[in-house]
A and B are shown apart, each in its own frame.
Chain A
Amino acid sequence: AQSVTQPDIHITVSEGASLELRCNYSYGATPYLFWYVQSPGQGLQLLLKYFSGDTLVQGIKGFEAEFKRSQSSFNLRKPSVHWSDAAEYFCAVGLTDKLIFGTGTRLQVFP
């Protein structure tokens, strides 16, 4: 069955430090992958998506993600974190009728 795993429930980083959020998926065919961010009290906003082609995907707010088929991973990265990046991040795989989400990673940023 299709599934998405985000191994890290909670991550804390200092402002200006680099960030990597992990995402592993289970899917039989070429996956359609998404990263969403949920800021406190807000809905989900799409950061980036991977459909095909270049395995390094650029998104909004300085985020990027790399699709690695051999590792079944789609990790999200940012070279320098800002305090405003504190939020919950969800990885998802797209099916024909829905998105399947991971359980989320809460990011805390210290000044």
Chain B
Amino acid sequence: EAQVTQNPRYLITVTGKKLTVTCSQNMNHEYMSWYRQDPGLGLRQIYYSMNVEVTDKGDVPEGYKVSRKEKRNFPLILESPSPNQTSLYFCASSLSPDSRKNIQYFGAGTRLSVL
């Protein structure tokens, strides 16, 4: 089954404790992206990757890191989480990089709480 898999689905942590949220897709997609969803703000892009070893900042990249060493995986790293990073996070992928014509497929989301 074609899917984007995020882990964990729920995570509670404390300020400053490094964490990684994994994202994997099995559709051989070139493009992957991370969004965060906050009430009243919709979804905002954090980072994206057009292909292996190619990543770029989105609209809200501060406090986050990503890597794309393999085509299928795109982990999101919070080196020193802070309470303002409490949010619902979504990973997405699409066949090719142009988001105008390519449908993005979303994971089920990771709800993160930073205390």
Contacts and interface: CB of A to CB of B under 8 A. Distances in A.
Contacts of B56: 97
Given A42-B108, A43-B90, A44-B90, A98 B33 contact: yes
B106 A49 contact: no
Interface residues on B, range: 20 to 34
Interface stretch (A12-20, A64-72, A77-85, A88-96): A88-96
Given A43-B108, A51-B101, A98 B48 contact: yes
Contacts of A34: 103
Bin the interface of chain A by size: 20 to 34
A1 to B, nearest CB: 11
A99 B106 contact: no
A104 B39 CA distance: 9
B103 A46 contact: yes
Contacts of A99: 43, 45, 99, 104
Contacts of A4: 42
Top 4 nearest A-B pairs (CB, nearest first) are A32-B100, A94-B100, A101-B42, A43-B106
Interface of B: 4, 33, 35, 40-45, 48, 50, 56, 58-59, 90, 92, 97-104, 106-109
Interface of A: 4, 9, 32, 34, 36, 41-46, 49, 51, 90, 94-99, 101-104
